[in-house]
Structure 1
């Protein structure tokens, strides 16, 4: 029996209506509604199309329906300020994605890596700035250079980064085990600069608070909200760290030295955003942390941005990151070595078979060149 509730939850999570899902699967809206009511069941071929469209595994959709009172608990456990923020069906989907990623790592014998643990109790701005400089060195980025594509940079170091649709209020979260290393989940619907910030925010937790991820032998994930508990010292440290890695203190001082104790013009903020991949608000926070502007001015300028664009929006749209992800590269390597089937590769990557074949051929041609 198909897990019909999961089809509905994953469809809603993907932002698709019944009609839109029907168009992609090749059936009517009424058919989707019938499947979700459990009046009818999709065929195996239709189920594969549903899984592909929703970005979940076929196995997940084939699980037996359970009573509403029974907990649908995935293998990956989530610890959160608000445990209801991620419904159990989304947890199951993300658990499967993390497991698939770790499986492919094992297939191609790649070892997950992480920077050294630097336990931090509370919040210490000096230590955060120091560790941020160390992380830029670990990433191999010059002191004054923009990071560029942060996700590609982190993946080049062996970190697992997974983009997936999440509830709008969730920017991302992370998980860690000694065997599988770290996995950072990022809301794929958020703007580019927010994705970059979230990835580094979660890296901060993996550096400063790694001991909090594991209790007994269970995997514990660290769910982080962009807007939650701003007074939490661990959140404050992670936010400061992300901004400091993106915009080191020497850089922000060089960029804004002519505007010390002066109003920062919006065109200047937008120019820094384009070059460093940061939000306008991050520039203002870093200007305050470098003591170039006052707390009052920072608050006033952020208030004006909120009034003009809304609390979650900004002018200047940065291009979405476009690169061959670490997972894609490892999957293509596994295909080349005959360690995985093309259908399994398509399922792991959440892409149609024809797209996987096309991308594989392009990758092979580039590798040979």
Structure 2
């Protein structure tokens, strides 16, 4: 088979093959000199191959695939998509960080898998992104408040709490969002690719409140700086204007100022002091942590600056105190389990359809989506019954 021919028989151009080889080399962290040595040519020849000016030979392709820790099949498969998100993230980080590197590779792999499934099924993802709002000079907090409220209005969310940021991103906005276990220091990643669109990866190991905060924080980058990759880590200082905007947007979107003021007035009516009970009720109503709520009250001048620090210095606000006020609540892991389903709702439907049509086997889906066999079987559970129950009455019109 010619090195430019895809496994489906449809020929890739030399430029397409060269671009895929370049991205694979950069993902493998090899220089052009290193790659050229693998196939016994000079660097200028390798450059010509990557630019599509010189056709790669099959034996050269196989050697490069081994050096790049991939396969000739993966490089030539027409359905496959090759992204440059890993190199972009690497350039973003000033120093090497294994946790960030692993997370960016995972995001890259998951996006590539989803786009490959779409290509195999002939599906085009609809992007319903809100208008981009560049960060303007002046009061950055005021702009974030306004942009956050505009997005809530645009989504038709009303004044209620945000209970499922994953579904909002996935199904309403058309963002590719994944929730997978990551190193504890990494909260989330955001990237925008012209081919794949907006992509977000969140840490499944974090509690629901923090996962929500991270998801909205990354949404802020979709609003303001979508063509700039972003990594949110534990040691984030929010020193840049972009990060200060994202942090303010996060608070404003989850706890809108008007809603918090109204709830605060109702809950503290007739009271002379802000108590733990007030904080517990306000945090529960908004679906955020106690600390996040107090910090928001301080920001809105509804509580004095340093209020949270005072609570911490005086025993904090404990889970036992929460149970005394609210009683035994349903386990928050119910929501977390939904968010941590490893495969977001739309991607799950794509995987089930590809399996039902015999385009991918269980094993192929496991490798593609980086799941184990048990997780794939959970994902596909009931798909056979769905197919056997299908009839003309419930057939979708096309």
Alignment match, 1:97:
110
Alignment match, 1:291:
301
3-state SS of 2:230 partner: strand
> Highest Rg: 1 or 2?
2
Pairing 1:351–2:359 present: no
Higher RCO (CA-CA < 8 Å; seq separation 6+): 1
Alignment match, 1:254:
262
Unpaired segments ≥5 residues, structure 2: 1-64, 71-82, 324-328
Q: Residues 354 and 226 of structure 1: is their aligned pair in 2 closer, same or farther, counting only changes over 3 Å?
A: closer
Aligned-partner Cα distance in 2 for 1:98–1:243: 28
Pairing 1:282–2:292 present: yes
Alignment match, 1:149:
164
Q: Residues 242 and 85 of structure 1: is their aligned pair in 2 closer, same or farther, counting only changes over 3 Å?
A: farther
| Equivalent residue in structure 2 for 1:196, among 212, 223, 226 | 212
Q: Residues 243 and 89 of structure 1: is their aligned pair in 2 closer, same or farther, counting only changes over 3 Å?
A: closer
TM-score normalised by structure 2 residue count: 0.62
Unpaired segments ≥5 residues, structure 1: 1-58, 65-72, 214-220
Q: Residues 244 and 85 of structure 1: is their aligned pair in 2 closer, same or farther, counting only changes over 3 Å?
A: farther
Question: Do the aligned residues in 2 keep the contact of 1:155 with 1:161 (CA within 8 Å)?
Answer: yes
Pairing 1:186–2:202 present: yes
| Equivalent residue in structure 2 for 1:76, among 86, 89, 95 | 86
- State the Cα distance separating 1:124 from its structure 2 match: 1.6
- State the Cα distance separating 1:82 from its structure 2 match: 5.0
Alignment root-mean-square deviation, CA: 3.5
TM-score normalised by structure 1 residue count: 0.67
Aligned-partner Cα distance in 2 for 1:270–1:321: 24
3-state SS of 1:76 partner: helix
Query: What does 1:203-222 correspond to in 2, within 5 Å?
Result: 203-211=219-227, 213=228, 221-222=229-230
Question: Do the aligned residues in 2 keep the contact of 1:174 with 1:223 (CA within 8 Å)?
Answer: yes
| Equivalent residue in structure 2 for 1:169, among 185, 200, 204 | 185
Pairing 1:318–2:324 present: no
Q: 1:303-349: CA deviations, max 9, x gaps? A: 657x677xxxx999732141662321221133334443332222233
Pairing 1:118–2:128 present: no
Pairing 1:63–2:69 present: yes
Alignment match, 1:19:
none
Alignment match, 2:34:
none
Alignment match, 1:342:
362
3-state SS of 2:125 partner: coil
Aligned-partner Cα distance in 2 for 1:125–1:230: 13
3-state SS of 1:295 partner: coil
Q: Residues 268 and 106 of structure 1: is their aligned pair in 2 closer, same or farther, counting only changes over 3 Å?
A: farther
- State the Cα distance separating 1:207 from its structure 2 match: 0.9
Pairing 1:133–2:149 present: yes
3-state SS of 2:161 partner: coil
Aligned-partner Cα distance in 1 for 2:119–2:127: 10
How many residues are aligned here? 289
Question: Do the aligned residues in 2 keep the contact of 1:139 with 1:154 (CA within 8 Å)?
Answer: no
Q: Residues 163 and 355 of structure 1: is their aligned pair in 2 closer, same or farther, counting only changes over 3 Å?
A: closer
Aligned-partner Cα distance in 2 for 1:363–1:277: 34
3-state SS of 1:162 partner: strand
